[in-house]
């Protein structure tokens, strides 16, 4: 059962990470457009490199299982804040779904915070009792 749980944690990390890696890469590919969108929502465009680092770097860290507890708590907060800032128009059903997706992802990251990365991870290489 422990071996199965270890692989389930890998799958969970992969599923949580893929959206962030893709989003970060997409923001790099459309830097000016993303910056303009952020500014239209009242967020300074100068913060875009930090957003890209959070999404791409955080996603890769979760995928590889590196400092998963720390990164997960940060990404949970990122999901809640970005959901409130960018998907607060609850009269629009699509925006409501996007907001709920952000909350669900925050819940997934809180679960990873509690469980840790598991034994099949960079974190697990250095932990004896996991």
Separation of alpha carbons 16 and 82, rounded Å: 16
* DSSP reduced 3-state for 123: coil
What is the tens place of the pLDDT at every residue in 57-88?
999 999 999 999 999 999 999 999 999 999 99
* Per-residue DSSP letter, 41: T
pLDDT band per the 50, 70, 90 thresholds, residue 129? very low
Q: Name the burial class of residue 76, with classes exposed (0-12), middle (13-18) and buried (19+) by CB atoms within 10 angstroms of its CB.
A: buried
pTM: 0.90
The whole-number pLDDT of residue 64 equals 97
Q: Is 72:17 a contact under the CB 8 Å cutoff?
A: no
The whole-number pLDDT of residue 3 equals 82
Q: Is 94:101 a contact under the CB 8 Å cutoff?
A: no
The whole-number pLDDT of residue 127 equals 55
* DSSP reduced 3-state for 1: coil
Longest pairwise C-alpha distance within the chain:
50
């Amino acid at each position: 059962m422990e071996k199965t749980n270890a692989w389930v944690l890998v799958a969970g990390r992969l599923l949580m990470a893929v959206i962030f890696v893709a989003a970060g890469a997409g923001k790099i590919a459309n830097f000016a457009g993303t910056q303009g969108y952020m500014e239209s929502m009242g967020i300074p465009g100068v913060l875009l490199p930090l957003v890209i680092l959070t999404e791409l770097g955080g996603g890769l860290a979760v995928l590889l299982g590196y400092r998963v507890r720390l990164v997960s708590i940060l990404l949970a907060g990122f999901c809640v804040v970005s959901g409130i800032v960018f998907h607060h128009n609850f009269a629009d059903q699509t925006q409501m779904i996007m907001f709920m997706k952000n909350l669900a992802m925050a819940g997934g990251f809180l679960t990873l915070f509690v469980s840790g990365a598991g034994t099949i991870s960079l974190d697990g290489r250095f932990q004896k009792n996991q």
